[in-house]
Amino acid sequence: MFQKITLLMLLVAVVSCQKKESIEKDKIKIADWLIGNWENASPDGVLSENWIKLNDSTFSASSYFIKGKDTLHFESIVLAQKGETLTYFATVKGQNDDKPVAFPSTAESDKQLVFENPKHDYPQKITYTKGADNTLIAEISGKLNGKVSSEKFVMLKK
């Protein structure tokens, strides 16, 4: 009897560990639609974001804005899942001692991802929305110099 109970408890432990591991890795799968090369061309320049999947819990992106031959903005992004938390890490060259700023997710769906860090100077909120016809809408928002501000970028998949 003792052996049966021990075996049953061991089986329950193994199954629950496997289930937890798959749940942990499943959350980032909701963001698979980010993968690819996205671009917004305007008279001001070209904004590009290039997303790749590094492994089953981490995506990486480079985001840059080019005007003519000048790169006006460059940012490295990591989207990582640890446990059940999905976090967006942004590293902007020349800002925050070149260290990443973390934006934990506050909402995830198959069409929208929302990341927030109320302690960051600007932006405090980053939203990605999957649009129709291979479009992606990236929006940054929050308070900038005491005033509410937001910027939207509609990008096409290349």
pLDDT at 26: 80
**Residue 16 pLDDT > 90:** no
> What is the Cα 31 distance to its own chain's centre?
8
Please state the rounded mean pLDDT for residues 38-48. Answer: 96
CA 126 – CA 114 distance, rounded (Å): 6
CA 52 – CA 32 distance, rounded (Å): 9
Domain count, the chain: 1
pLDDT at 94: 87
Structural domain range at position 27: 2-157
> What is the Cα 54 distance to its own chain's centre?
13
CATH number at residue 133: 2.40.128.20
pTM equals 0.83
Burial pattern 1-32, b for ≥16 Cβ within 10 A else e, equals: eeeeeeeeeeeeeeeeeeeeeeebeebbebbe
pLDDT at 19: 43
